[in-house]
Amino acid sequence: MDGKIWRRILGAAFACLCSVGPVQASEPGLPILVYHRFADTAADAMTVRITTFESQLRFLNEHGYHIVPLRDAVEWLRDPSAVLPEKPVVITVDDGHRSVFEKLLPIVLREHFPVTLFIYPSAISNASYALTWDQLRTLKQTGWFDIQSHTYWHPNFNIERRHRSAGDFQQFVRWQLEKSRQRIEAETGAHVDMLAWPFGIVDDELMALANQEGYVAAFTLRPHQASHDAPLLALPRFLMVDAYGPRAFAHLLGESAAGVAP
């Protein structure tokens, strides 16, 4: 993974964490949360402790939030007449880390909420940190997990563009999007038409290519709530870090932190 890019992304997440005042929106927004790894202890900035995650779930429950499937949220964003429950929120998880099966799955089975996984197939059943295809099939069979694309091997498209001709770059992007979808659908039976951009990198050219490849929605790491005026192929998500305890989580969602335990 590109360390410099992740440092910038994490810096933006912590800036959001430390900014003054609750999140404001011109219309009721839709917070889409993105996690990466779960563990009993936070060994790095991309890992959220199970105790932190469960405190976030309690906050959502106690404050009337409803965790909705990402696909329902996308339909609401595409069609203003579509209806979501009051105070919707979406949970997504990028990369396909094995902790999804080991740590997150038991909580999902206990609490019954939908999760969308964005995976890059090159790691699945190959990398020691990653899920296996059998585990992904088991997750899908629970009915609580949707499996979508994070490209085929999580490239940095900015770097790839600098080292390729214009035509070669477009062909490379198309291959990443098509190969990922084909492999996920073949291995899991999922219908893949949503994409998480690696490192959150996206621009007009990438959006156009994703559209041509049949993706209906794609997601960045920009820390904002999604709204009807957001581009469907560059929808924002909040990167979740372990520092989002109850007060910081309330702040992120635009809730008053008064009376919320630290």
Mind listing the pLDDT tens digit for each residue in 104-161?
999 999 999 999 999 999 999 999 999 999 999 999 999 999 999 999 999 999 999 9
Q: Is residue 158 helix, strand or coil?
A: helix
CB 20 within 8 A of CB 211: no
Angle at 206 between CA 200 and CA 212, to 5 degrees: 130
CB atoms within 10 A of CB 153: 13
Residue 101 is given by DSSP the state I
Task: Kindly report the pTM of this predicted structure.
Answer: 0.91
pLDDT at position 260: 59
Closest CA to 155 of 119, 126, 197, 125: 197
Distance CA 237, CA 148 (A): 15
Distance CA 62, CA 79 (A): 29
Closest CA to 27 of 217, 220, 222, 225: 225
What amino acid occupies position 102? E
CB 204 within 8 A of CB 189: no
Instruction: Give the rounded distance of the alpha carbon of 227 from its chain centre.
Output: 16
Given a cut of 80, whether residue 50 has pLDDT beyond it is yes
Distance CA 48, CA 38 (A): 5
Closest CA to 150 of 192, 95, 70, 208: 95
For residues 225-247, average pLDDT: 94
CATH number of 3-252: 3.20.20.370
CB 49 within 8 A of CB 243: no
What amino acid occupies position 130? A
CB 151 within 8 A of CB 123: no
pLDDT at position 198: 97
Given a cut of 60, whether residue 261 has pLDDT beyond it is no
Instruction: Give the rounded distance of the alpha carbon of 56 from its chain centre.
Output: 16
Given a cut of 50, whether residue 32 has pLDDT beyond it is yes
Beta bridge partners of 130: 97
| Mean pLDDT over each residue of the chain, to the nearest integer | 91
Domain ranges for the chain: 3-252
Strands (E) in the chain, as ranges, are: 32-35, 37-39, 47-49, 66-67, 88-95, 115-119, 145-149, 194-196, 217-219, 238-239
